Structure 1
Amino acid sequence: MKTLKTGTLVVLTSFIAFACSSSAQRSEIEEGYDAISVTLFTLEETTEETHVTGTGLLSSINDVKYAFKIGGVIDRIFVEEGQSFPKGKLIAQLLLTEIDAGHLQAQLAVDKASRDYQRVQNLFADSVATLEQLQNSKTVLELSEQQLSTVAFNKKYACIYADKPGFVVKKMANEGEVIAGGAPVLACSENGNDSWELKIGLSDKEWAKVSMGNKAKVRLEAFPDSWWEGEVFRKSGAADMGTGSFQVELKLENLTESPAIGMFGKAIIQTGLQQKSKLIPYEALIEADGKKAFVFVPMGTNRVKKQPVLIESFADKGVSISEGLEGVSEIVLGNSAFLNEFSTIQFIKQQP
């Protein structure tokens, strides 16, 4: 009986030892299986010129809104939207019936005042009329002449002539409409390759980096293979109430194409400011959204941390990071898509 108990105890002890050994081996296997292999990238700080990138719509610097000086009925509009016209062309006119009648009345008033003045002069020479009567008749003549001059001036501006060559951007009135004096009839733009501008919206920080006279590179989406020189010539002093952005206007130089107002464009402004940043590979970025993104940085020997960063610019060699990596010397380069802050990492090698 004692021998049986001893044998049973040996078997139980062996089984427990085997179970513990198998559990230890399984734990080691699972631990090795859970560890994610990563490559660390060593960061280097670089100093480079700050560039500001923005997008906007193309417009003309020399926009003109043509209008009649006086009100009336629009008789003819001789141009259509998108149509070009030379300098001096008659592009619109009012119905002249009422205006001609007013001009004729003023002319008749001048003729009558002139006859009256001549009559009073003769009477004054014969000592029949007084000096006061002569002076009053002269004043009436001068007033009527000034009235005729005013009517003639207004009649001249009842017709709109182009003072510069250009094209019609928008018709703001039509023939037969009654229009008030000074109300725009045609919105036009001046022709010429040096009359184009790109209006872009920037954030407050970007706006502060831009100065008047900064050079820029501009590309229009309609002509993706061409870049043109530009220059900052105007900065808005207030944010746009609709978008909250700050407007910067770039004058385009030597535009070789024939664009249209409203085309979408992109500008890269050279600010001339130097900024320290850290260049990282594209594959190190995760959850990029505009200028914001995340990277993983090592914590201790087998953990990682999700670190928010701010993108400064994109280049062929990688992404320039302006904020978020202060005091960080290495970031995770490989297997970022499979990591979270609870992952166990396995260091492979250091990339120089």
Structure 2
Amino acid sequence: MRLSKPVSVTAVSALLLAALSACSAPPDDVAVTPSITPVQLAQPVAASTSLRVPAMGRLERDEESSLGFLAGGVVDRILVDIGDRVSKGQVLASQAPTALDAALAQAREQEIQARRDRDRAAELLAKQLVARQVLDDADTRLQLAEAARRSATFAADNARIVAPTDGVILRRLAEPGEVVGAGAPVLAMSGGSGGWRMKTIVADRDGIRLLPGDRATVRIDALGGVEWPARVDRVGGEADLASGGIAIELVLEPPASTDVERLRSGLVASARIESSQDSGLAIPTAALVAVDEGRGRIFVVRDGTAVATEVSLGEVGVEYVRVVGGLQPTDAVVVEGAAYLSDGEAVAAAAGVEE
């Protein structure tokens, strides 16, 4: 009997591998399901920051105003003193009439002279002895003289200071016999509203975050440490040149039964100003996969795909981080499993977690 040639071990191995491959390969018409990574998702929530600003300042009556004469001259009489309550229309001070009367008399004489010159120019023009320009110039001088006379009359008739409203005299800034300029402060008074405010300057980093309407508490040590609620009324539009801070005005809101008669302008008071504002979104700190100088990297899920997203960060806490840019409130953020994801990887919310 003739024996066949022996088959090599290499050939047998090749045949076995081919058979195994044929058995394990899926049919052409069967789709391969891609791997989907389960992750835990969370929605961003609105973040609010609380700001507490201490401040020191001085109290002032509401609607304080400085009063002076319309024209310069010598103060004749001051009819009120500091602390006096006055009524609207009450005469508070007057000027010596001598200078004003003299100015009015001079203005009247100049008007008479200008009118006489104008009439003379009209006669000469009628006789064709002067040009039309001469009469026009005379008309102009007459108009100027009439305006000066009206101004002097107004100043003489108003050589006194009258209270513009009910209120309280705060300061006397001039005395009888003194020479004051037009509009120079002679008296300071407060309006009749009876309100009080505190003026202060806070650090620029705090001032730019305060808004009108923010609440505050004002403490007045001169009244035994009494504390009254207050609100921010005005926030300065520019930094103070001397200190670099921002000017703030608080309006005091004492209870209706509080006796405010003991208050005086200029009293020192302290305040605690509180502000709470929406400022960005908050997400769990676990969502961060990278942080670098105020920037962070997270994954958000869109259409079942993990998308690497760069965001701007605010304060970073143990449990939550504030995101100030790069994230939308509707984004679904990966909070567990983010460290093992790649950009574009297919993901699904883990069981029991809503996307």
Q: TM-score range by the shorter chain?
A: 0.5 to 0.7
User: CA RMSD of the aligned region, Å?
Assistant: 3.8
Q: Give, in angstroms, the shift of residue 131 of structure 1.
A: 4.4
Verify the 8 A CA contact 1:231 1:252 in the aligned structure 2: no
2:211 equivalent in structure 1? 211
3-state secondary structure, aligned to 1:97: helix
Contact 1:71 1:178 (8 Å CA) reproduced:
yes
Higher helix share: 1
Tell me if structure 2 keeps the 8 A contact 1:75–1:93: yes
Q: Which residue in 1 is equivalent to 2:276? A: 272
Residues 268-314 of structure 1, C-alpha deviation per residue, up to 9 Å, x if partnerless?
Answer: 32211599xxxxxxxxxxxxxxxxxxxxxxxxxxxxxxxxxxxxxxx
Aligned partners of 1:49 and 1:274 also within 8 Å: no
Once the two structures are superposed, what CA deviation does each residue of 1:238-293 show, in whole Å capped at 9, x if it has no partner? 35847x86543212246643332123333332211599xxxxxxxxxxxxxxxxxx
Residue type of the alignment partner of 1:146: A
Q: 1:209 to 1:124 in 2, by over 3 A?
A: closer
Identity between Structure 1 and Structure 2 (%):
28
Gap change, CA 1:98 and 1:56, over 3 Å in 2: closer
> Cα distance 1:79–1:48, how it changes in 2: closer, same or farther (>3 A)?
same
- Structure 1: runs of 5+ lacking an equivalent: 1-46, 276-325, 327-352
Instruction: Check whether the contact 1:106–1:148 (CA below 8 A) recurs between aligned residues.
Output: yes
Residue by residue over 1:12-62, the C-alpha shift from the partner in whole angstroms, topping out at 9 and shown as x without a partner, is: xxxxxxxxxxxxxxxxxxxxxxxxxxxxxxxxxxx9944333333211342
- Secondary structure at the counterpart of residue 197 of structure 1: strand
Aligned residues: 231
Equivalences for 1:112-131 in 2 at 5 Å?
112-118=113-119, 121=122, 131=132
CA contact (8 A) 1:88 1:163 kept: yes
1:264 maps to amino acid = V
Find the residue that maps to 2:146 and give its secondary structure. helix
Q: Is the 8 A contact 1:79 1:168 kept in 2?
A: yes
Residues 207 and 126 (structure 1), Cα distance of their counterparts in 2 relative to 1, 3 Å cut: closer
Where in structure 2 are the equivalents of 1:168-317 lying within 5 Å? 168-194=169-195, 196-203=196-203, 206-207=206-207, 209-221=209-221, 222=223, 224=225, 227-235=228-236, 237-238=238-239, 241=242, 247-253=247-253, 256=256, 257-258=260-261, 259-272=263-276
Letter in 1 for 2:267: M
Amino acid at match of 1:252: L
**Match of 1:218, as an amino acid?**
V
Query: Residues 118 and 272 of structure 1: is their aligned pair in 2 closer, same or farther, counting only changes over 3 Å?
Result: same
Counterparts of 1:44-83 in structure 2 under 5 Å? 49-83=50-84
Amino acid at match of 1:197: R
Q: In 2 relative to 1, CA 199–261 (structure 1 residues): closer, same or farther, beyond 3 Å?
A: same
- DSSP-derived class of the 1:211 partner: coil
What is the alpha-carbon distance in structure 2 between the residues aligned to residue 139 and residue 206 of structure 1?
59
Helix, strand or coil at the partner of 2:152: helix
CA distance in 2, matches of 1:274, 1:110: 68
SS in 2 for 1:74: strand
Q: CA deviation at 1:103?
A: 0.6
What is the Cα deviation at residue 176 of structure 1? Answer: 0.6
Q: Normalised by the size of structure 1, how large is the TM-score?
A: 0.54
Q: Which amino acid aligns with 1:212?
A: P
In structure 2, relative to structure 1, the CA distance for the partners of 1:100 and 1:52 (3 Å cut) is same
Unaligned 5+ runs, structure 2? 1-47, 280-317, 319-355
TM-score (norm 2): 0.53
Return the letter of the residue paired with 2:216.
Answer: A
- Whether the 8 Å CA contact 2:58–2:267 is kept in 1: the answer is yes
Greater Rg over alpha carbons, structure: 2
Write the distance in 2 (CA, Å) between the matches of 1:160 and 1:123.
48
